Amino acid sequence: MANIDCPFPPVDKCESVGRENQAVVADMDGTLLIGRSSFPYFALVAFEAGGILRLILLLLASPVAGILYYFISESAGIRVLIFATFAGMKVSSIESVARAVLPKFYSSDLHPETWRIFSSCGKKCVLTANPRIMVEPFLKEYLGADMVLGTEISTYKGRATGLVDGPGVLVGKNKADALKKNFEAESSPDIGIGDRRTDFAFMALCKESYLVPAAQEVQPVSLDRLPKPIVFHDGRLVQKPSPLMALLTILWIPIAFPLACLRIAAGALLPMSLVYYAFRALGVRVIIKGTPPPPAQKSSGQTGVLFVCSHRTLLDPIFLSAALGRPIPAVTYSLSRLSEIISPIKTVRLNRDRVKDSKMIKNLLQEGDLAICPEGTTCREPFLLRFSALFAELTDELVPVAMNNRMSMFHGTTARGWKGMDPFYFFMNPSPVYEVTFLNKLPQELTCGAGKPSHDVANYIQRMIASTLSYECTSFTRKDKYRALAGNDGTVSEKPKLAAANKIMGC
């Protein structure tokens, strides 16, 4: 958009000092966010809540939406995206994706100049053509917005119809009318920020207005400047699905799933001493750092070593075993039956009963080495969750292991979907990487056997691993994660719904 005839100065001319008692109103795409296209966020909802077929439908509809947007009206183009994404979808599924998936992607695209002003004001309002149901959780919970005015979608019996409720898509005059309605009992907003001609109507109602210029190369706001850090997030897609990325994902999946099955078969059927080489031949890299301890010698009466691992995916113990060249049994908190069946190592479920679990772990250590992930659940971000202290009370033979991985297309974890697909999604990445770093065995004087409290031992190991990975320690737990993302305590059902199994690409 040419700004020669624009009646508003650029946003970098706006002072942000002394705005604590003022109200700001900002548009979203192209203003609060750097990106001017909302397609990637509709694509995330389509894939995460509707599956691969819904993403294909949205991708096919996007050229039509683009033509309508540029040659008819902005409103017409957005209506097409809303219909292709939401028609027939459960409202609860849309809300779940908006709460657990979208904030991660929105937060990585914040415009620095708009955020400088937005964050400095005492009252914050966002006006957007996007469906309010999509954007409100992020704007209110992570950016501290007091009011979100967006397009309202039509629903029927708990499902979206794909249509838009009155007054229609919030663009142009509709934005101005919504602003008048919600500020009618107060003075006009102090600051208005927009990025396109259709925002001029609401910007003219503000005491000061500023335009975010198009086609400016800016770096997004760093995540440490957000009022609230994003520790937990869900969803299968690693990258924001632009139209090109969405197309590549669709084309890759028919190749990726058979490849994942082959990789899983190699890990499950070959001797563990060969798995490292098989993975390497199949495009899975295992990077080993540090010096692992030798296996326990039963003949000398030596008990096994307890490998205390950070938890990135349910495959941590398998890649630990691949790095050691021998199978290491693992205790698990909650695992799907499918994952147990295809696992190449022995897995033993904890009972969540302290006495029973202690006895079971001690018996397993008598038989040999054992792996445990005391966080109890995975975390994708550079954080470590609180370590349960039980493991420290059961043995002094403790070897911390810093686990890390890299995925380019799919996340190998889920809180909302069926966990049985987790290993498949990890191995569906073109070239996934696992990094296994063995740290020094915990000195005897720092163990419970030397009189140290178990919580001190657990916290010390957590800090060791965090320092190795350059992660941050937190006190968050498994329950905190699942309550934030899925609204439950994270217990896996013994009989997952058949629908979830059938919809393998849209967990």
pLDDT for residue 494: 43
- The pLDDT tens digits for 98-113 are 999 999 999 999 999 9
406 inside domain: yes
Q: Judge whether residue 324 has pLDDT over 80.
A: yes
pLDDT for residue 34: 93
Q: How far apart are CA 386 and CA 493, in angstroms?
A: 24
Say if residue 111 is in the same domain as residue 199.
yes
pLDDT for residue 182: 85
Of 265, 272, 371, the C-alpha closest to 317 is 371
pTM over 0.85? The answer is yes
Give the pLDDT band of residue 298 (cuts 50, 70, 90).
Answer: low
pLDDT for residue 506: 34
Cβ–Cβ under 8 Å, residues 164 and 153: yes
Residue 265: Cβ within 10 Å count: 14
Residue count of the chain, please give it: 507
pLDDT for residue 236: 96
Q: Judge whether residue 463 has pLDDT over 50.
A: yes
Cβ–Cβ under 8 Å, residues 419 and 272: no
Give the pLDDT band of residue 269 (cuts 50, 70, 90).
Answer: very high
286 versus 337: the higher-pLDDT residue is 286
Q: What is the residue type of 341?
A: I
Q: How far apart are CA 100 and CA 103, in angstroms?
A: 7
What is the arithmetic mean of pLDDT over 124-133?
95
Q: Judge whether residue 480 has pLDDT over 50.
A: yes
314 inside domain: yes
**Cα angle: 203, vertex 206, 208; to 5 degrees:** 95
Angle of helix 243-269 versus helix 272-281 axis, rounded to 10: 150
Tell me how many domains the chain contains.
Answer: 2
pLDDT for residue 473: 95
| Range(s) of the domain holding residue 294 | 243-502
Q: Judge whether residue 96 has pLDDT over 80.
A: yes
> Mean pLDDT lowest for which of 34-43, 165-174, 330-339?
330-339
Of 26, 77, 328, the C-alpha closest to 196 is 26
What single DSSP character describes residue 368?
Answer: S
Q: Judge whether residue 505 has pLDDT over 60.
A: no
Cβ–Cβ under 8 Å, residues 158 and 92: yes
Give the pLDDT band of residue 5 (cuts 50, 70, 90).
Answer: low
What is the arithmetic mean of pLDDT over 307-320?
96
pLDDT for residue 243: 95
- The pLDDT tens digits for 48-58 are 999 999 999 99
Say if residue 73 is in the same domain as residue 188.
yes
Residues 6+ positions from 81 with CB-CB distance below 8 Å = 38, 39, 42, 58, 61, 62, 65
List the CATH number of the domain containing 203: 3.40.50.1000
pLDDT for residue 184: 66
Most confident of 329-338, 436-445, 490-499: 436-445
**Over the chain, what is the mean pLDDT?**
90
Say if residue 199 is in the same domain as residue 319.
no
Say if residue 158 is in the same domain as residue 248.
no
pLDDT for residue 1: 40
Say if residue 250 is in the same domain as residue 163.
no
Say if residue 307 is in the same domain as residue 439.
yes
What beta strand segments (E) does 261-342 contain?
285-289, 306-309, 330-332
Say if residue 27 is in the same domain as residue 112.
yes
**Cα angle: 178, vertex 183, 188; to 5 degrees:** 110
Q: Judge whether residue 117 has pLDDT over 60.
A: yes
Say if residue 260 is in the same domain as residue 400.
yes
pLDDT for residue 223: 86
Domain boundary at 165, 198, 215, which? 215
Give the pLDDT band of residue 300 (cuts 50, 70, 90).
Answer: low
Say if residue 306 is in the same domain as residue 211.
no
224 inside domain: no
> Which H or E element spans position 438?
strand 433-438
What single DSSP character describes residue 110?
Answer: B
Q: Judge whether residue 291 has pLDDT over 80.
A: yes
* CA torsion through residues 59, 61, 64, 70, sign: negative
Whose structure tokens read 């479920």? 349
Q: Judge whether residue 3 has pLDDT over 50.
A: no
Strands across the sheet with 370-372, in order? 285-289, 433-438, 398-406, 306-309, 370-372, 330-332, 347-349
Whose structure tokens read 């259709």? 198
The 3 state secondary structure assigned to 142-199 is CCCCCEEEEECEEEECCEEEEEECCCCCCCCHHHHHHHHHHCCCCCCCCEEEECCHHH
What is the arithmetic mean of pLDDT over 116-129?
94
249 inside domain: yes
DSSP string of 320-355, one letter each residue: HHHHHTS---EEESS--HHHHHH-SS-EEE--S-HH
6 inside domain: no
Residues 6+ positions from 484 with CB-CB distance below 8 Å = 100, 232
Share of the chain above pLDDT 90, in %: 70
361 inside domain: yes
> Mean pLDDT lowest for which of 38-47, 230-239, 480-489?
480-489
Give the pLDDT band of residue 246 (cuts 50, 70, 90).
Answer: very high
Say if residue 304 is in the same domain as residue 407.
yes
Residue 100 has, within 13 A of its CA and on its CB side, a CA count of 25
Say if residue 201 is in the same domain as residue 247.
no
pLDDT for residue 2: 41
Q: Judge whether residue 503 has pLDDT over 80.
A: no
346 inside domain: yes
Query: What is the four-CA torsion angle of 165, 503, 494, 356, rounded to 10 degrees?
Result: -90
What single DSSP character describes residue 408?
Answer: S
108 versus 492: the higher-pLDDT residue is 108
How distant is the alpha carbon of residue 199 from its chain centre?
A: 31
Q: Judge whether residue 228 has pLDDT over 90.
A: no
Say if residue 187 is in the same domain as residue 78.
yes
483 inside domain: yes
pLDDT for residue 350: 82
- The pLDDT tens digits for 180-205 are 888 865 578 899 999 888 889 999 99
pLDDT for residue 418: 87
pLDDT for residue 67: 94
> Mean pLDDT lowest for which of 317-321, 415-419, 433-437?
415-419
Q: Judge whether residue 499 has pLDDT over 90.
A: no
Q: Judge whether residue 388 has pLDDT over 60.
A: yes
Phi, psi of 111, rounded to the nearest 5 degrees: -75, 125
Of 318, 310, 345, 301, the C-alpha closest to 432 is 318
What is the arithmetic mean of pLDDT over 222-248?
93
